């Protein structure tokens, strides 16, 4: 099947009230237009044509796909938009028309639609709506095929009771579309060229108009404003939540779960409320994610427990680690098996060895820490001198006391110790204790400033 797909993305999107093009607003972490292109690609078309306005630079920059970009210099309706792509469509091709603001279109539905069109017929994707409102109604004949599409304003009372609507998604042989565009008119209230007018054109030529029904309303739901965007987003999230639960994941509340990318899961995973998973996330067996956690582009090993209010981004966390609460694991962090990262600990480009612990109030940046170390509360690696980042190397079995300052570049050798409150600026050898404190001096009879001021007033 020689299939070419046209995606319409030239609408103004004024009801979104946004500087971002409507089709770039995300659903599940991906632009709506990208989701439509992803669905189109599953049909393995010879080409995908995306129709945009000439000034839609934003769209062309953000959608990194090998598509054919087509300009619609004037927005004169859907028929006019598709006509702009026709010169680039090969003779003998089947043409499938999709919409950049209908992001949840099902690949199987549009595949069936395209297959019908390869038989020389016109195919329209329809859907049943519980409340069709003012959408165009599908009128079928006794043979089950489509006789006509009636706009709400033109429908009689009986036709308005029809709950099957036109989605706008159409597939037809290129030859049929070319003949339609040659005679297309804009004799309507909007003075626009409508793609739906191809239905009576096909019928007049004795061509069967077949309706392929979508599985649900949301599959053909268009997005024109923020409220509709939220509705479609929640529908997408509910579908993903359902899939995950069928795969064995326990979601504390499916209505308070957000996946903005792709999630791979093992067995017996638990995800609490208000968690956001972004990009590519992999959760191993028996992973437990507490409430209000955000995980981005990370791999989490089996048996890991992520406590509430933790942020993990671009990290690899091996089995049986405990992270949080209120921890921040930044890109480049690699935590070996059994590492403990506690409350208000931040890591960045840090490698922590097996069983190492940093249980509270620490910063480890540009750091390699060996196995079995203890990083005391308040410890920081001073990795930035105002111009460049520097590395800290900590061996195995190192004990760093509370409130230690490690000024990079610096090395703490195996089994060394750093006394609490020390500033370390040079290498600590194997087994040595580093003490880098100022000498304590107690002043007898110290009078605080407020007392001195009170005495002066007397």
* Chain segment 9-43, per-residue pLDDT in tens: 998 889 999 999 999 999 999 999 999 999 999 99
Q: What is the pLDDT of residue 376?
A: 97
Q: What is the pLDDT of residue 458?
A: 66
- Residue 82 confidence class, pLDDT cut points 50, 70, 90: very high
- Residue 447 confidence class, pLDDT cut points 50, 70, 90: confident
- Residue 257 confidence class, pLDDT cut points 50, 70, 90: very high
| CATH number of the domain located at residue range(s) 3-220 in this protein | 3.90.550.10
Q: What is the pLDDT of residue 67?
A: 96
Q: What is the pLDDT of residue 450?
A: 78
Percent of the chain with pLDDT over 90: 83
Q: What is the pLDDT of residue 94?
A: 97
Kindly state the average pLDDT of the residues 51-60. 92
**Is the per-residue pLDDT at 345 higher than 90?**
yes
Residues 239 and 106: their CA atoms lie apart, in Å, by: 12
Does the predicted TM-score (pTM) go above 0.75? Answer: yes
Topology of domain 249-434 in CATH is: UDP N-Acetylglucosamine Acyltransferase; domain 1 (2.160.10)
- Residue 352 confidence class, pLDDT cut points 50, 70, 90: very high
- Just list the catalytic residues: 360
Kindly state the average pLDDT of the residues 132-160. 89
The residue among 110, 107, 129 whose CA lies nearest residue 221 is 129
Give the long-range contacts of residues 107-112, CB within 8 A, separation 24 or more: 107/39, 107/42, 107/43, 109/212, 109/214, 109/215, 109/219, 110/39, 110/40, 110/43, 110/169, 110/171, 111/42, 111/43, 112/212
**Is the per-residue pLDDT at 305 higher than 90?**
yes
Kindly state the average pLDDT of the residues 211-222. 94
Q: What is the pLDDT of residue 451?
A: 77
Q: What is the pLDDT of residue 445?
A: 85
Residues 36 and 51: their CA atoms lie apart, in Å, by: 13
Kindly state the average pLDDT of the residues 84-105. 96
Q: Which two tokens stand for residue 190?
A: 């909007």
User: Reduced to 3 DSSP states, what percent helix, strand and coil does the chain have, rounded to the nearest 5?
Assistant: 25, 35, 45
Scan for tokens 């069109």, then name that residue: 117
**Is the per-residue pLDDT at 195 higher than 80?**
yes
Kindly state the average pLDDT of the residues 58-66. 93
Share the mean pLDDT of the chain: 94
> Residue ranges per domain, the chain?
3-220, 249-434
């Amino acid at each position: 099947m020689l299939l070419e797909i046209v995606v319409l993305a030239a609408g103004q999107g004024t009801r979104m009230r946004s500087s971002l093009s409507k089709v770039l607003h995300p659903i599940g972490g991906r632009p709506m237009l990208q989701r439509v292109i992803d669905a189109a690609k599953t049909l393995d078309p010879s080409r995908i044509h995306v129709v945009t306005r000439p000034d839609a630079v934003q769209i062309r920059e953000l959608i990194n796909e090998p598509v054919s970009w087509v300009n619609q210099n004037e927005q004169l309706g859907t028929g006019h938009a598709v006509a702009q792509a026709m010169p680039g469509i090969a003779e003998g091709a089947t043409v499938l028309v999709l919409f950049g603001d209908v992001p949840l279109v099902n690949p199987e539905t549009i595949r069936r639609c395209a297959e019908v069109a390869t038989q020389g017929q016109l195919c329209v994707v329809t859907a049943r709506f519980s409340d069709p409102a003012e959408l165009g109604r599908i009128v079928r004949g006794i043979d089950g095929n489509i006789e006509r599409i009636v706009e709400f304003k033109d429908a009689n009372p009986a036709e308005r009771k029809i709950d099957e609507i036109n989605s706008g998604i159409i597939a037809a042989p290129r030859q049929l579309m070319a003949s339609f565009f040659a005679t297309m008119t804009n004799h309507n209230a909007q003075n626009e060229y409508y793609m739906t007018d191809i239905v009576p054109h096909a019928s007049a030529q004795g061509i069967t108009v077949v309706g392929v029904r979508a599985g649900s309303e949301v599959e053909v739901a268009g997005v024109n404003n923020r409220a509709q965007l939220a509705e479609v987003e929640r529908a997408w999230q509910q579908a993903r939540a359902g899939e995950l639960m069928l795969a064995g994941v326990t979601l504390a509340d499916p209505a308070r779960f957000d996946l903005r990318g792709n999630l791979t899961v093992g067995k017996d995973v638990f995800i609490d409320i208000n968690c956001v998973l972004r990009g590519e996330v992999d959760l191993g067996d028996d992973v437990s994610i507490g409430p209000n956690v955000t995980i981005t582009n990370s791999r989490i090993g089996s048996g890991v427990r992520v406590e509430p209010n933790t942020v993990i981004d671009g990290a690899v966390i091996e089995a049986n680690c405990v992270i949080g609460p209120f921890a921040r694991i930044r890109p480049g962090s690699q935590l070996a098996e059994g590492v403990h990262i506690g409350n208000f600990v931040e890591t960045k480009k840090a490698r922590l060895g097996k069983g190492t612990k940093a249980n509270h109030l620490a910063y480890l940046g540009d750091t390699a820490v060996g196995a079995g170390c203890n990083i005391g509360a308040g410890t920081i690696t001073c990795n930035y001198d105002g111009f460049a980042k520097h590395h800290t190397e900590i061996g195995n079995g190192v004990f760093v006391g509370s409130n230690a300052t490690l000024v990079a570049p610096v090395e703490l050798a195996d089994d060394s110790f750093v006394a609490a409150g020390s500033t370390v600026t040079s290498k600590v050898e194997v087994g040595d204790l580093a003490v880098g404190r100022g000498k304590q001096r107690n002043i007898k009879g110290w009078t605080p400033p407020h007392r001195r001021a009170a005495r002066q007033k007397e």
